[in-house]
Amino acid sequence: MRPLDLTEKDPSKRVTIYFEGRPLEAYEGEKVTVALLANGVYWLTTSTGGRKRGAFTFGPVPMVVNGVKNVNARKTAVKDGMRLERQGYGDFQERVEIDEGKPVLQYVVDVAIIGAGPAGLGVVKEIGGRLTTAIIEERGWLGGDLKLKGVEQEGFGDPSEALKELSDLPENTRVFLKSVAIGVFDKGEYFLVPIVRGDQLIEILAKRVVLATGAVDNIMLFENNDYPGVFRRSDALEVMNVWGVAPGKKVAVVGAFPEELTAELDRWGIEYVVVPNPKRVEGNEKVERLIDANGNVYEVDAVIVSDGRRPDINPVTQAGGRLYFKRGYYRPVLDSNHRIREGIYVAGSAVSIKPHYANYLEGRLVGAYILREFGFDAEPCVYEERLKNYEPIAVPVHRLPLDEFNGEDVQICGCDVTLRKVDDVVKSGITDLQIIKRLTHLAMGFCQGRFCLFNGAVVVSQRTGTPMDKLDIPVARPPLKNIRMKVPARR
Ligand code: ATP
C-alpha cells in the first residue's frame, strides 16, 4: 500500500506514473491529485506570486501532463506511463484556439435541474417520470455532498445505501454527469441552460429550471491558509470516502464544525487534533505544523478546514434572483412556491444550510410544486409540514483579527489576492464590493467569487461597522464555472 492509502486497491488496475521524473504507484481511474496525495506528494503547483500550492485548497491545479501545459490535474485521471510536472499559475493562460469542434447538441425538456445532490435527486424522484427532466451535474457521480459522507446521516441512515435508492431514477430522466451548467438565460417561452461537458457544448431548453446547486465550503482565514496540505472540508471528505486515501498521518481540524470531520477521521482511525483558533501554518514544501492564536504548536502534516458551508449564491444572482442575509449567510429571496422568479425554483442547501435529508425533502417539495404547475395531482403541503422539523443551521461569521494577522500571508482568494490587499483598499475608504473587485481582483478568478467574496464582505463589514445584510453583493456573471472559452465561442 502507498503511504496514505486507507484501503487496498485493485492490483489489476495498478499503473506507474512519473512525477518530476520519479516513478510512483497509481491506479487506473484515480484522479492525478489523489494518486499523488496517496504517495505523499502535496506540492503540485506554484501561484503567480510564487506561493507553493497543493490540490485541495483553492481552484484548479494546472500541471504539465505528458509535456502539455495547463492540464487541470483536479479533473484528470491517471494513465499508465503518464508524466507529470509542476507548473506555475502564471502560465495558466489559455491560447485562444477556436476550432470546428463538435456540433452543438440540443435537448428540449420540461424541467432542467442543475445539481444532482440530495435536493436535485429529490426533485427528479418527486416528478417520477411524469415530465421530461434533465439533471446536470458537474461531478462524475450522483449524490452531491452526501456521496462524500461515510458516517450515518439523520433521516438517510447509511449514506451509500441511501444513494443506491436515490440514484434509481425514473424513465424520462436525462442525466448529464461531468457537465457544468454555465448559466440560465431567457429564451422565448423556454429557459436556455447551456452546459459544457469536456469540449462539448450542449444546450438544454427547459420550461422550468431548478437550481439545486448546493453550498460552498467556507474558507477560513489564517496565515498560509493556501499551503500544500491545507484541505477544504469537501476535499478531505472526498479523498477519504470516495478514494480511500488519508489527507495525512496526523491532521489538525479547524473551524466551527469540527465534528463533521472528526466523525469521519474516527471511522478511518486517522489521528487528529482539534484546534479552534488557528493562526499560522508552517512547513517547507507542505504543512509541518500549525500554530494557534495562543502560540501553541501542533506538529501535523495536514490541516482540514471544517467551517461549514454557505449557499452558493452565484447561480441565484446570475439567474435574476435577489438575496437576503440570515443565520450567517446570504440566501435567495423565494416566493411561496420556492421560486426566485416565474419558472426558476431553488431547492436544498442553495436555499439554506440544513441536514442532507431536509435538502432531499425540499427537492421533493419543489418537484411537487412543479407537478402542480403542470396540472398533476401533487401534495407539496406534506413536505412543507415535514420541513418544519428542520430549522436551518446558523453559520458563525468569524471576527477576523485583522490587525494581528500578517495579512500578506493570508490568502483571501486563491488567485494571489491577500487579505492585506483587500484590507488596504477598504481602509483607504473604498467599501463598495464592486469596486473592491475591480481594484484587487477579488472574486474575479477561478472560483468566480464563490469562495472569496464572503470573506471580502466580512472585511468591509468589520472595518466600516456596516451589518452584512446592508452590503451590496455583486451579481454573478456567466459562465458560472471555469470552462474553456473555445467551447461557447463556437456558438
Ligand atoms: P446537501 O447539501 O444536503 O448535500 P444539495 O443537493 O442541496 O444537498 P449538494 O449535495 O451540494 O447540495 O449538491 C449540489 C450539486 O450541484 C453538487 O454535486 C455540485 O457539483 C452541483 N453543481 C453546483 N453548481 C453546478 C453547475 N453550475 N453545474 C453543474 N453542477 C453543479
Residue 215 C-alpha to ligand 1 middle, in angstroms?
Answer: 7
| Beta carbons within 10 angstroms of residue 292's beta carbon | 17
Pocket test for ligand 1, best of 136, 138, 346 (most atoms within 8 A of CB): 138
**Is the C-beta atom of 146 inside 6 A of ligand 1?**
yes
Asked if residue 318 has its Cβ within 6 Å of ligand 1, the reply is no
The closest-lying atom of ligand 1 relative to the alpha carbon of residue 480 is: 27
Q: From ligand 1's centre to the CA of 436, what distance in Å?
A: 28
Report the pLDDT value the prediction gives residue 234, as an integer from 0 to 100: 96
Task: Provide the domain limits for residue 51.
Answer: 11-91
Is the residue at 231 inside a domain?
A: no
Same domain, yes or no: 318 and 187: yes
Q: Quick check: CB of 478 below 6 Å from ligand 1?
A: no
Do 126 and 159 share a domain, yes or no? yes
**416 residue type, one letter:** D
| pLDDT given at position 211 | 98
Q: Which residue, 62, 91, 120, sits at the end of a domain? A: 91
pLDDT by residue (tens digit) across 420-442?
999 999 999 999 999 999 999 99
* pLDDT of the residue at 323: 98
Residue 101 has what pLDDT? 73
Residue 57 lies in a domain: yes
* Assigned domain for 67 exists: yes
Cβ–Cβ < 8 Å for 126, 382: no
Identify the segments of the chain with pLDDT beneath 50.
none
pLDDT of residue 93: 60
What's the one-letter identity of residue 211? L
Say yes or no: 116 and 203 in one domain: yes
In this prediction, residue 447 carries a pLDDT of: 83
The count of domains in the chain is: 3
Ligand 1 centroid to 117 CA: how many Å? Answer: 5
Q: Does 234 contact ligand 1 (Cβ within 6 A)? A: no
Determine the distance separating the centroid of ligand 1 and the alpha carbon of 143, expressed in angstroms. 8
Q: Are residues 208 and 324 in the same domain?
A: yes
Q: Is 197 touching ligand 1 by the criterion CB < 6 Å?
A: no
Mark whether 318 and 170 lie in a shared domain.
Answer: yes
Give every CB contact of residue 51 below 8 A, 6+ residues apart in sequence: 226, 227, 411, 416
The pLDDT of residue 146 is: 98
pLDDT for 35: 98
pLDDT of residue 70: 85
Residue 270 included in any domain: no
Work out the mean pLDDT of the chain and round it to a whole number: 95
Pair 87, 109 in one domain? no
Q: Indicate whether 80 and 159 sit together in one domain.
A: no
Instruction: Answer whether 210 contacts ligand 1 (Cβ < 6 A).
Output: no
Distance 311 CA to ligand 1 centre (A): 10
